[in-house]
Every structure is written in structure tokens, then in C-alpha cells.
Structure 1
């Protein structure tokens, strides 16, 4: 009978507990940094709806096969991981890492424990002479780096040596950077991107997310998004559309073009099927071009805490059992679910009010106890083990959704051909649309002649496109002298219309003999995205309403819908502006429509 062997390493760090957690709980990055190989995962759905995960990896000439038990953790407190080997000298290997505040509240203490169950004598020798010493060496190495990182002596606890390119690849890279730097979308960031691609860990490069990169670099999100889009065109990056599972947020289907993405998919990890939603689960990510740096397929770690940082708690509970788990949920909205297919529940947590959660086959119940205990009681009333998950609902903060990127001017300029299949359509829950039109353009052509008038119209198109782009929007199309533009957020659309109107005033000061009058309409709501005339276009009542509101505007006026005026972020912008409420019958709509006008004489503030 085999005996469980254990070895615990304890390290007192001057780094904060949050810093130690961020580094050590990033298990994929940890494993890559200490030289562990990637492994392939095979998912096997079970009759009860759960999924078992089997991994294969090669270390030299040795092939390892094991069942990977999904990690468990309580954010900031502990995580644990089990591997059950199918053959070889070991039966199982478990790692349990626990975090505590340091003495007198300074720094933290980390307990790193490894448990090994050998299958035979060779396994015992391997555990004592190889695995324990190597684990201790790796833990000390990373702990030392965490201390340096906390002191800002290094940029990351997982530094890497930049790849060195041969002469041919170096010349190719320089050629790419030359094109990138002279483009409209490089923003002087081309060299920084190239250096990062050559020095980053592979775990960073498997799914490059521009919003996360912008936050790390402390630069404008739009600049990094545009940089990545242009880098695809210039051959530095490759793009792919990921269809994310709404439960685990994993990319279960990835395609290089939008028209290849199916309308739905099945997630073998969660054993559920789901539909495509542009605004929620279709994400644009990037990888280095293979000619610059090849990224090998595989996983460094399955379900690591920092791989899914929105998951605050993930704990396996045996059938009929309960467990009190130390945690500290910040006030906010959370989703309670299980790793296996089953019910879900949305839970709003206020400060110091932690619930008890009971899971059965049909429902998830929660009960607040009113106590300010930093613990949560989990109960499994099912006849099978369940992995209970508590996740914050802010998972999409780093996701560049298809909804957002396809509304941007750079995407429409660079990827006009990346559209939906003919006959395919996508429902978009929320989009903001702006329509503009020149007032009196016919009289302008008659007054100054076709060529000069057309020149003014083109100039007005140019500044409209520039301002729309600056506010993360994109021009969908021009219709005569009119423009249709799209934005992911109402606030962006509103700020764009205000900037456009202000620019028209400046434009008219520069052209006093030929002033122009611009009418603007803005509305937000659901619509349908389709491909029309080879480009992504929008249809539905939201589009019609935005166009009709523009028709209600006079020269120099902005007409906005009640949906725009009631949006919290847009309402904050409107506080300093004078609005007139109006209500009229509008063609194509059964009932009279209430809307707001920003009169032309109101250029900035309410009248005093």
C-alpha cells in the first residue's frame, strides 16, 4: 500500500499578499517560466453531464498521461491542483498553496505544499530525489523574483530573454515595421509591439488582447486596437475570431475570418451548446505571425486562477457535503454556477454580507446570514460531486468584442472584406447610430458650382470621419450628402455629435462665403447586422429611428432619442447642455415619438 509523501516550503515575503497571489496563482505563467512543457488536453463528456479532462505531455523521451482535476481556489487565500497519473511510477501529484498576511500586517507568508503518492519504489525515489528538490528550487526562484518585482527592480516576476532573429527574419521584421510606422494606425507603437512579441511568454501570445495590452502599456485603447489591426495587414500579427462559451469563457471555436464563424457551438468543457452573440461572446484576438514567432499549441495549466480572474471562487464539494470556505467578496454582482451543466443564479453582494449557497440538480439557493464573516458556506445536495463557481460579472472588460471592433473606423477601413456570409445575420442587443445630412446642399451646388461645392462636401466627409474615429466609431456608409455612423456606446456617439457640431462652427468661420448647415440625429437600441454590398451594415427599427430623428433636426441641431438622454453616461455629458423636449408623429412609427433637441445656438452650456 502506497503512502502519501508531503513536503511544504514556507516563505515570508515583503511583497503584499495581493502581489504574491497575482504571481503564484498565475499557474500557466509559473509553469512556463520554470520550464514545464505544454500538454494536450482531451475532454471526455460523462453520462451525468460532467466532463473529465485527460492530459498528455512529453518530457524528453518520456510521455506522461494523467487525469487533470480542475483547480480549486479562493482568490487571495489559496489554490490547489491534483493530477492523477494513469500509469508510471506515480499515482498522483497534488499542489496546495496557501497565503496569509505577514507578521504585524507587513508582507505575507506563503505555504507551498506538494503531496505525492508513489506507485512503487521508483516513484518514492523520484519524489524524494527529483520532484521535491526541483519544486523547492522553482518556488525559491519565483519567490525571489516576486520580491524584486514588488520593489520595482524588474517589470514582471516572470522575465524572459528576447528571441534572437536570424538576418532574413530581422530584415522581414524591419520591413513590416517600416510599413506599420508610416500608416495612419501605427501611433508610433510598432517597435514596442515587435519587441514585446519577441520577449513575452507564450502564455501572453496565445490570445493577445489589445485592451489588456493597452492597460499594461498605459496607452489609449483605440491606439492599441488600431495598431493590432494594422499589424495584421502588414504581416506582424494574425487575427482570429473566438466564439466564447458563456459559462467558462473559453474560446471553443476560432476562425480567421468573420464569415467562417458559425452561429453556435458546443463547449466540451462545460458540455453545453450556445449561440453566437456579437456583443457578448464573439471576441477578436491576435497571435504573432508564424514568420515572426511561432506559438505552439497546448496548455501550460488547465483552469488556473489567473487564467480566469473573473472567477473568485472555484471549489469541489462532495455529494451531500458542506464546506465553509474563506473568502472576501467585494460588493458587486456575481454569477453562481457549477463547472458542470446546471442551474445558475445572479447574486448581488453588499459589504460584509456573505451568503450560504446550496446547490441541487434544479436550482441554486442563497441565503444571507447578515454576518460579516470572511467565509462562504457551500452545500452540495446532489448525488454527485459538484464544482461550485462564484464569478464576478466583469469578465468582458478585456474582451474586444465583435460588436465593438466592427463599429470602429479602422476595422471598416482595413477589413472591409471581413464580413458575414451572404444571408447570415446577427442580432445586436445594443448599438448607437448617428445620421448626419447637409442642409441646403442643392442650393450650395447652384450658388458656387459643382466642383467647389463637391470639394466642400468632401472636406466635410473628411472631418466627420476623423471625429467619428476619434470617438471609437466608424462610418458605415455615405448616402448622397448624408453619413451613417455606428458606435458601441451611447456616450461615444453623443460626444462625437457634439464635437462635429463644434467643428462645423469652426469650418464656417474658415469658409464665411459658403457656410454649411449640418443636421444630426442619434439613437441607440437593438438591430440586425448583415452584409450588404460587400460591407457590414445594420437594419431594423433602431436604424430607422436614428434616420428619422436626423430628419427632425434643423441646420445646426442635434436631435437625440429618449434612449440616449436616459443613458447614465450620456446623461452626465448632457448636464451642461440645454435640451428642448419635443414630441411628434414620425413616419414609419405608429405612436408619436418623444425626443430631445440641442438647439443650434447652444454650443456649450446652458443659458444663464
Structure 2
């Protein structure tokens, strides 16, 4: 049995069989580019498989060494990868800039950071493992652009339609290009160093040769648009890096606009942090000590088992422990099925996160019913769950040697839970205002009741809604 066969046999012990079969088939038969920077959500859609099963299988495959995981900071405008990271620990800049789009972005995990998967060279070597050998079109496909852009199969042909001139420039070399500039906006761009120089070509046509020099190095500096006239240009390109660069003169035309507008869903860092498989596998190795990464919108659910102390006294430690343990098992099962993750348990309480408010509401409704069913089955009707939900911004941090969250959103969610009476779900306005939440509540015949309350540590009263 080969090493790959042994690894996939091990993967079958922890992942869905249909997904493992698909991944094994891809490693054996798929073209190189299909095994580089794999988009888990797109892969699930194309293969007709559940997203969470595909994500879980890929995460377990990373743990076994079959695939490698990359956290790509990407430009929201052109979908280019601004920084490729093997771990969240190296996302240490407050802002990332895209020279091609002349745009800057605050570092957040909501949609700026995608997570992709590439086959490990120990299982199969592919061209992307040696990117210096890739053609220009394949470098753009496999290295520069993120998995958010839906690139056409004939990418080389499309790039020809937007490229006025290009060159493969070895390290330390210089090239001189003679061009005849058309009117319009042109971009001298290199995808390796992410260097861009914009040219505004306008006015009357000239017969005199114009000159321009562009230097490629590891230092990115803001550059102003250069005004030129239509006509001849002597363009000097100098590579001062220790690797090849791939500069090209692009025309900002409709073909380029159409190419950059083709998008597909991605596995974001935020979604992965709310994935239970990820938390189980990487609980202590996600963020560096002292590192803080911002999330603009995350939904927190806190639950607590009402009257658990009295339960222990009434039925005895052994029976009570068994009930509480079963309660934890049921809650985690429901949270995971609604695409959430348990952050931690505190006594009889659970803290969980969800990517969107409607997922948390769906989980809360099911959790409440599950506790009623459990109480009925064990003849302990006193099993009542108090649940609070809030949505907002927060910081992803490391606390007590595991990935956790910090901020006012977490504080409010915890305090909202303390307002819940037996079997009630208390949520904040930001949760109820979510369109998917409203549709979910309506489909379940639930009408939230508004209350204004004071929360400890919060200066102003807040609006909360009780879902009885």
C-alpha cells in the first residue's frame, strides 16, 4: 500500500466516506491546478456534497498531512491574494493594500481572509509547488488570484485580450520594451511583487518617443498616475528581486472588468473559526499569544441549565451528572448541525458562536425542544434551558491557551442570557433585525416580545426580545 493509500485509509476513520472518495479520486486523477488553492464551498457545490462534510474532511486531511491549509488575505475588488499565510499567526498587519486596485483594507476575518487547501507534495507534486515554472496565465490562476474569482478555462486567451505587452524577467535582469500607446487607462503590473503603475494616456497623439522606467523590488510604495500621450513609449523594466517577475502592460477595458466580476462563495476565516472540527483540531494553535484579529459580525449564543444545583440535590450526583452530560452532548450536536461551534463550557453553561444570527436562532429553538424531550424521557421536567443571543463585532484572541473571543458583544450576549426565564430565548435587536432571522421566526410561528432593559456595565438601556 502506497503512502497516499495509507493516509486516505486513515482519513476514512474521521471523515465522510463519500467526501474521502472524492478527494482520493482528485489526488489520483485531477489536473494540477484543481489541487491547488482548493475552494471547499465551490468543491462541495460541484460535487453535490454537504459543505460542512467537505470542510471537515479537508481539515482532517490537513491534520494527516494529505493537504496543506493557507489563509489568504485577498483584495475585495480584484480578488488578488495580497498575503498568503500558513497560519493566522502571521496576519500581523492592521491594513493590507492592493497596488492593482489602489485600495486599502482593514484586517478583518469576515470576508477579507479566505481559507484554501493544496495537496501536499508528500502525496502528489503539482506545478504550483514550484511556482517559478508556471506560465504567466497559470501563475495568475494558481498564485495571484484567490479562489473567490471564477476564472474561465481559456484564461490565457482572455489575458491576451487585455495585455498590450508582457515579459518574463529573471532576477537581476532588465528589459526594454517599445510600445505604441493607445488612448485610455493602462496598468503596468507585476503579480509577483504586486507592483502597479497606472498610466493615463490621453490628449493629442505624439510622434516623439516617451520614456518610463519601472523598478520591481520587495518594497511597495504608493505611486501616482503618470500622464502620457498616445504614441511611442520606451518602457524600461528592472527586476531587483531574487526571483523572476512577470510584468505586463494591461488595458483597463471591458474584458478585464468582466473577468474580475466573476465571483463565487469562499470559505472565510470567520466561518472556519465557527467550525467545530476546526476548533477541535486547532484549539490551542490558532492565534499567537497577544494577537487580536477583528471580526465585524459574529453571533454569540449563551445557554445555561436552570436549577441545576437543585437537580443535583433532588436526584443525586450520579443521575444529575448523567443528565447534564447528556445535555452537553445534545447541545453540541445541535450547534454543529447549525454550522456553529462550542467555544467553551462554564459550569452548566455553554458559549457558542455562529456565522449569522439565523443559525443561532435555529439552534436555540432546537435546543429548547431537545431539553424538553430529554426531561420527558428521563422524567425530570425541571430541565429548562435559558438562552441569550447577540450579534456584533468582536476580537478573536487566545485566552487560557485556546482560541476565544473578547469585546462588548461577548459581554452583552452573556448578560442577555441572564435575563432569560425558564424555556425562554432572549435576543437583541441586531439579531431580530436580521432578515433571515425574521423569516425563520415567522415560519415557526414565533413573535418576539420587545422589552427595554438595563444591563450591568452598559450605560444605556437596550432593546431585547423574548421568544417564549
Category of TM-score, reference length = shorter chain: 0.7 to 0.9
Q: 1:174 deviation in Å?
A: 2.8
For the residues of structure 2 that align with 1:306 and 1:225, how far apart are their CA atoms?
17
Paired residue for 2:65?
A: 235
Please state if 1:488 is matched with 2:355: yes
Q: 1:381 deviation in Å?
A: 11
String of CA shifts for 1:279-301, please: whole Å, max 9, x gaps: 12211111112221112332341
Normalising by the residue count of structure 1, what TM-score does the alignment of the two structures yield?
A: 0.57
Paired residue for 2:290?
A: 423
Please state if 1:538 is matched with 2:405: yes
For the residues of structure 1 that align with 2:399 and 2:117, how far apart are their CA atoms?
27
Kept in 2: contact 1:417–1:535 (CA 8 A)? yes
For the residues of structure 2 that align with 1:219 and 1:598, how far apart are their CA atoms?
34
For the residues of structure 2 that align with 1:285 and 1:192, how far apart are their CA atoms?
17
Decide which of 332, 338, 342 is 1:475's aligned counterpart.
342
RMSD (CA atoms): 3.3
For the residues of structure 1 that align with 2:49 and 2:414, how far apart are their CA atoms?
35
Go from structure 1 to structure 2 and tell me whether the alpha carbon gap of 1:403 and 1:218 turns closer, same or farther (over 3 Å shift): same
Paired residue for 1:186?
A: 16
Q: Specify the structure having the higher radius of gyration (Cα).
A: 1
Q: For residues 13-412 of structure 1, what are the structure 2 equivalents within 5 Å? A: 170-183=1-14, 185-263=15-93, 264-265=95-96, 267=98, 274-296=105-127, 297-298=130-131, 299-300=134-135, 301=137, 303=140, 308-309=149-150, 320-321=183-184, 383=228, 387-388=252-253, 390=257, 397-412=264-279
Paired residue for 1:332?
A: none
Q: Secondary structure at the match of 1:182?
A: coil
Structure 1: runs of 5+ lacking an equivalent: 1-169, 323-338, 343-357, 361-379, 600-608
Paired residue for 1:154?
A: none
Q: 1:500 deviation in Å?
A: 0.9
For the residues of structure 2 that align with 1:490 and 1:359, how far apart are their CA atoms?
49
Kept in 1: contact 2:299–2:391 (CA 8 A)? yes
Go from structure 1 to structure 2 and tell me whether the alpha carbon gap of 1:306 and 1:580 turns closer, same or farther (over 3 Å shift): closer
Q: For residues 518-597 of structure 1, what are the structure 2 equivalents within 5 Å? A: 518-575=385-442, 576-597=445-466
String of CA shifts for 1:539-582, please: whole Å, max 9, x gaps: 11111111111111011111111111110111110112132211
Q: 1:189 deviation in Å?
A: 1.9
String of CA shifts for 1:140-197, please: whole Å, max 9, x gaps: xxxxxxxxxxxxxxxxxxxxxxxxxxxxxx43233222322222x4354212211112
Q: Secondary structure at the match of 2:451?
A: strand
Q: 1:266 deviation in Å?
A: 5.5
Q: 1:341 deviation in Å?
A: 7.1
Structure 2: runs of 5+ lacking an equivalent: 153-157, 165-180, 186-194, 203-224, 230-249
Q: 1:499 deviation in Å?
A: 1.2
String of CA shifts for 1:172-228, please: whole Å, max 9, x gaps: 233222322222x43542122111122111111120111010011111111111110
For the residues of structure 2 that align with 1:503 and 1:235, how far apart are their CA atoms?
38
Q: 1:594 deviation in Å?
A: 1.1
Kept in 1: contact 2:307–2:382 (CA 8 A)? no
Q: 1:250 deviation in Å?
A: 2.2
Decide which of 438, 456, 459 is 2:326's aligned counterpart.
459
Kept in 2: contact 1:310–1:394 (CA 8 A)? no
Q: Secondary structure at the match of 1:430?
A: strand
String of CA shifts for 1:3-26, please: whole Å, max 9, x gaps: xxxxxxxxxxxxxxxxxxxxxxxx
Paired residue for 1:106?
A: none
For the residues of structure 2 that align with 1:395 and 1:426, how far apart are their CA atoms?
28
Kept in 2: contact 1:419–1:534 (CA 8 A)? no
String of CA shifts for 1:505-562, please: whole Å, max 9, x gaps: 2111211136411000111111111111121111111111111111110111111111
Kept in 2: contact 1:320–1:381 (CA 8 A)? no
Paired residue for 1:432?
A: 299
Go from structure 1 to structure 2 and tell me whether the alpha carbon gap of 1:568 and 1:392 turns closer, same or farther (over 3 Å shift): farther
Paired residue for 1:42?
A: none
Q: Secondary structure at the match of 1:239?
A: strand
Kept in 2: contact 1:426–1:530 (CA 8 A)? yes
Q: Which deviates further from its counterpart, 508-517 or 480-489?
A: 508-517
Kept in 1: contact 2:288–2:398 (CA 8 A)? yes
String of CA shifts for 1:28-47, please: whole Å, max 9, x gaps: xxxxxxxxxxxxxxxxxxxx
For the residues of structure 1 that align with 2:64 and 2:290, how far apart are their CA atoms?
31
For the residues of structure 1 that align with 2:146 and 2:67, how far apart are their CA atoms?
25
Higher relative contact order (CA 8 A, sep 6+): 2
String of CA shifts for 1:105-151, please: whole Å, max 9, x gaps: xxxxxxxxxxxxxxxxxxxxxxxxxxxxxxxxxxxxxxxxxxxxxxx
Kept in 1: contact 2:99–2:196 (CA 8 A)? no
